[in-house]
Amino acid sequence: MPKFSQVYSEFRKNIGPDLGKLENNRIGRNEFVANELILDNLSILNIGGGGKRHLQTALKRCGKSNVSVFEIDITGDCDLVLNLDKVNKIDFEDDKFDVVCAFDVLEHLEQFHLINEEIFRLSRKE
């Protein structure tokens, strides 16, 4: 598993100073992550994926079909419908997932600090 500094370096190298390519483009952000940052054979929790399975679709499109994605959202096509502002804990054991993603969701939450703590709790730390 790459360290955060390696992931961030790769992100900056591929996007460069023009982060605008990813702004206001949920599909583009998910495709970037699928192509550049996600390795094979991972388990991913995607929190607030938009209810359309963008990350799972992008992973399949780039040939990473052996990555398992569990999606949580408030609505739409997801594995667990959950209002993140109404929970005190996401019901999974510690270190359950290799990667936890939360694209386009934290800025919408009143209790984003709690959900951020849940992201750290649920992701494996290597």
* CA dist 55 → 41, 86, 87, 110, 113 (Å): 15, 25, 24, 24, 23
The rounded distance, in Å, linking the Cα atoms of 103 and 26 is 8
Average pLDDT over residues 15-23: 57
For every residue of 58-72, DSSP letters joined together read HHHHTT-TT-EEEEE
Q: Is 126 helix (H, G, I), strand (E, B) or coil?
A: coil
Q: Which residues contact 7 (CB under 8 A, 6 or more apart)?
A: 37
Q: Are 98 and 1 in contact (CB under 8 A)?
A: yes
Specify the pLDDT at position 126.
63
Q: Please determine, for residue 23, whether its predicted confidence score (pLDDT) is greater than 70.
A: no
Q: Please determine, for residue 11, whether its predicted confidence score (pLDDT) is greater than 70.
A: no
pLDDT digits (tens, 9 = 90+) for 37-95: 777 888 999 999 888 999 999 999 989 889 999 999 999 999 999 999 999 999 999 99
Lowest mean pLDDT among 23-27, 48-52, 56-60, 122-126: 23-27
